[in-house]
Amino acid sequence: MDPQADTVVLPPVRPAEESPSAAAGEQPPPAEPPTKPPEKSAEKPPPSGGGGRARTIVRSIGELLITMGVVVLLFVVYELYVTNLMSAELQREASASLEQEWENERQLRADLADGQAFARLYIPAFGADYDFTIQQGVDSDTLEIGPGHYRETAMPGEPGNVGVAGHRVGKGAPFNDLDLLGSCDAIVVETLDSFFVYRVLPMEDELADWPTGKGSDPKCAGVPTLRNPEGPTGSAYDETVGRRIVLPGRGDAVAPVPYKPAGTLPDASQAALLTLTTCHPQFSDRERLIIHSVLTNQYAKEPGATYLDLLKKIGEA
Catalytic residue among 149, 184, 220, 279: 279
Encode 200-217 in three state secondary structure. Answer: ECCCHHHCCCCCCCHHHC
How many residues does this entry show for the chain? 317
To 10 degrees, the CA torsion angle through 259, 171, 198, 223?
60
Q: Would you tell me how many other CB atoms lie within 10 Å of the CB of residue 131?
A: 18
Task: Evaluate whether 282 touches 169 at the Cβ level (below 8 Å).
Answer: yes
Catalytic residue among 167, 184, 220, 280: 167
Task: Report how far residue 105's alpha carbon sits from residue 280's, in angstroms, rounded to the nearest whole number.
Answer: 38
Query: Could you tell me which of 67, 84, 245 has the C-alpha nearest to residue 169?
Result: 84
For 166, phi then psi, to 5°, come to -160, 155
Task: Report how far residue 195's alpha carbon sits from residue 76's, in angstroms, rounded to the nearest whole number.
Answer: 37
C-alpha distances (whole Å) from 271 to each of 84, 169, 185, 232, 233 are: 35, 31, 18, 11, 9
Q: How are the residues of the chain apportioned to helix, strand and coil, as percentages rounded to the nearest 5?
A: 30, 20, 50
Task: Evaluate whether 271 touches 158 at the Cβ level (below 8 Å).
Answer: no
Give the DSSP H or E segment for 189. Answer: strand 186-190
Query: Catalytic residue at 280?
Result: no
Query: Catalytic residue at 149?
Result: no
Catalytic residues, by residue number, are 167, 279
